[in-house]
Amino acid sequence: MLTRSLRPKARPETFVVQAKAKTDPAVTSEGDTPAKVQDIATTEATLPGSEPMVLGVFGKENAPHALIRLPNGKVTEVQVGSRIGAQQVIAVAADAIVLSNSKRLRMPG
């Protein structure tokens, strides 16, 4: 029967930064992202407020899912067969989804 438990020593506050710096020379302090990485990973686009927008597509090739931002700002996950309002999702492509009214919603940018 366990009657006592030892408490581990606390990690130093700089532990995470030191660990990252040892594995990635581009990381100088917690939260820093190199400018080149930011440029590659960031796409600027105007967000349409009146219709759903595809934020991203993920999952297996034979069962893709998409993240959709609805006009009310809510983000939801859809797949083939899901409904967005009165329309049904009939296809999920690498950069878009197709709805049952033949409308294609694409990722911005």
Q: Which amino acid is at 14?
A: T
Nearest alpha carbon to residue 95 among 64, 54, 40, 60:
54
Q: How far apart are CA 27 and CA 17, in angstroms?
A: 8
Structural domain of 16: 12-42
pTM over 0.75: no
Same domain, 17 and 60: no
SS3 state of residue 17: helix
Q: Is residue 70 part of a domain?
A: yes
Number of domains in the chain: 2
d(CA 57, CA 47): 17
> Residue 47 falls within a domain, yes or no?
no
77: which 2 tokens? 């996950």
| pLDDT single digits (tens) 52-102 | 889 999 999 899 999 999 988 899 999 999 999 899 999 999 989 999 999
